[in-house]
Structures are given as structure tokens and as C-alpha cells.
Structure 1
Amino acid sequence: MDELVALYAEGDLSGRVTGTAPRSAVRARNLPHAATAVLLRHVDGRVYVHRRTTTKDVYPGMHDAWAGGVVLAGEDPVEAAGRELTEELGVTGCELRPCLRFWYADDHTSYLAYVFEATYDPRTCGPVVHQPSEVAAGWWMHWDELTARLADPDWPFVPDGRAGLARYAAAQD
């Protein structure tokens, strides 16, 4: 079934919903929508990085450090972030901390990013379990290792994820 996605006013950071459209139309016409991005940080500071499946509709087969996805019609972005974290990585019980909000746009997607951080404690959040249709593999990386890899423009990392990590790092300073 084609999910109904909330459409947002392009460039407007307030999060004003302007309508809805089927996910297929959002992708085909690059309609402005909202998406969540959750950075899963282990209690020891490492970041969870994964490789997307080759069947993903945007940036297939590339690496990513964000669990996330589109905000559905009628869905609150905080609820969407929790849903996506559970769907993609199987993680539950992690508190979400809002970090920032920004617009991202390229030839493939245009969305208002609701960025969150979740602290992963294996004693309370349960195991990381990949959704087979979205995540091909995953591992923990130290922040310094991740930023070093991101400095290599040939590392196949999702472009919106690169932009999000740069903004996240700047907000932490």
C-alpha cells in the first residue's frame, strides 16, 4: 500500500503541514515533505552506522548513520522518529532528544529534517535488529572514525546524511 505522506511548506522551518500525497508521488515529483533522522549513540559515545539495502527508493546501497524516514500524514515528528528507530534498527526504550531542524534538498529529495539523538544502552534499549528490507548491515563506529570516513568524498555515504552530520557536529560545538 502506498503510504500517505504529509507535505510541508518548502523552506518553512515551523513545520506547517500544507497537504498530503502518496509516497510514490512524493518521490516521483520530489515534493517537499518532512523526515526524521535519529542518530543512535551508544552510552560509550560510538555511533551506529549502517549500509542501506540496494532496494531502498532513495540512495540505495549507501552508508548512513541516521535511522529515519518520512513523516506520515497526521503523524507527529517525534512519534515518526520513534517509529523509524524501531522499524529500521529494532531499538525501543531509548529516549529521543531533539537536536535541530533544517531543510535539505537535492535532485532526489526535498524535506524538513527533524533531527534527534538517542542514547543506546543495551541494558534498557534492547538489541539492534535490522529491518531486512532497509538495512543490509550495521556496526558501531567511534565519532572520530566516522568523521574521518566522511572526509573521503568517495565513501558512498548518503548526501543528506553527510549534510545532517555536519549540522549536528556544528550544533554540538
Structure 2
Amino acid sequence: MTVTSSEHELVDVLDAAGSVVGTAPRWQVRRDNLLHRSVFVAVVNDTAELLVHRRADWKDVWPGHWDLAFGGVVDHGEAWEAAAVRELAEEAGIAAELVYLGEGRYEDAVVREIARVYLARHDGPVSFHDGEVTEVEWVPLAAVRAWLEGREVCPDSRDLVLPRLDAP
């Protein structure tokens, strides 16, 4: 396994109640599937379309899958919204006001996270300088569920973001 600099970043480890109980390097959080904090930012434009993207094939979790939101792991000691702002800028080159949509928990054999979901209104442009994104599409919000059919989609963003986009 090639270790990148992001794998050495420290991440807060959580207990079942969501309280910080320690820290671990990102690689260990992934390897041991430790409960941690993450953020998602759904980007919607003025014509009610969601910006979806395909993840790079080198990503440590769900490589090559489509994702409904930009985001990622919250660094050790980092505030939730600061992480969302950072991730949106790093992954999409977007600086936009964020609207908090809610918090949820996702757990499977690959990822265990407590996540906060945000919405950013943005019409473009977008840029993908860090290489985490390989393809994008604008999908009408009303058609997102149909668009998901037959595509490999990150299950955490599907389960945590999609219901919050459906909310009135």
C-alpha cells in the first residue's frame, strides 16, 4: 500500500455516543473501520440541479464510484463547518455559503461515520485541482433517484445526503 500524506493526518476517533475518545492516523481509521466524523456538501445550482461527481480510481474508499456530495473526513480538532468549507474548496474549487441540513450516522463493513450534511448553492465554475474528481454531471433534483439506478454510488452519501435533499 502506498501511503499518501493525507493518510498520516490525525482523525478524531469517536465512541458509540459520538464523543471524541482519542485520535488515530487516517490510515488506521480506514484499516480498523473506526468511528469518526465526516462532512458532506451537496452543491445545487439555481435551476435545481445537483452536481454529482465520480471519484478517482485511487481513492481509499469506493474508488470510481459516483458521489452525491463533496466532502470527507474531519481532521483532528477541526470544526464541522470548517471541514465542509475546506473539503468543498479542495475537491471542487468552490467557496460558497453553507446551509446545515442535518446530522446522521452511517456504518458498514468499510466506513463508520457520524456526518454532518450541508448544502451549497453554486452555478459554477467548478475546478478539480486535487485529482479526487474525474467526471461531473448536473442532475435535476427531481431525477436524482432515477439517475442512481444502475450506477455504483457511494452508499454513505446516498443514505445520508439524498433524504435531506428530498426534505421540503
Q: TM-score, normalised by structure 2?
A: 0.90
Aligned residue among 156, 160, 163 for 1:160: 156
Identity fraction in percent = 36
Matching of residue 69 in structure 1 with residue 80 in structure 2: no
Partner of residue 102, structure 1: 104
Aligned residue among 25, 30, 37 for 1:34: 37
Q: TM-score, normalised by structure 1?
A: 0.88
Q: 2:86 corresponds to which letter in structure 1? A: R
CA contact (8 A) 2:50 2:139 kept: yes
Q: CA RMSD in A?
A: 1.4
CA contact (8 A) 2:90 2:130 kept: no
Matching of residue 7 in structure 1 with residue 13 in structure 2: yes
Partner of residue 114, structure 1: 116
Q: Which runs of 4+ in 1 moved over 6 A?
A: none
CA contact (8 A) 1:7 1:18 kept: yes
Q: 2:21 corresponds to which letter in structure 1? A: T
CA contact (8 A) 2:36 2:73 kept: yes
Structure 2 CA distance, aligned partners of 1:60 and 1:41?
Answer: 23
**Secondary structure at the counterpart of residue 83 of structure 1:** helix
**Gaps (5+ residues) in structure 2?**
none
Which piece of structure 1 moves more, 61-70 or 155-164?
Answer: 155-164
- Aligned pair in 2 of structure 1 residues 141, 66: CA closer, same or farther (>3 Å)? same
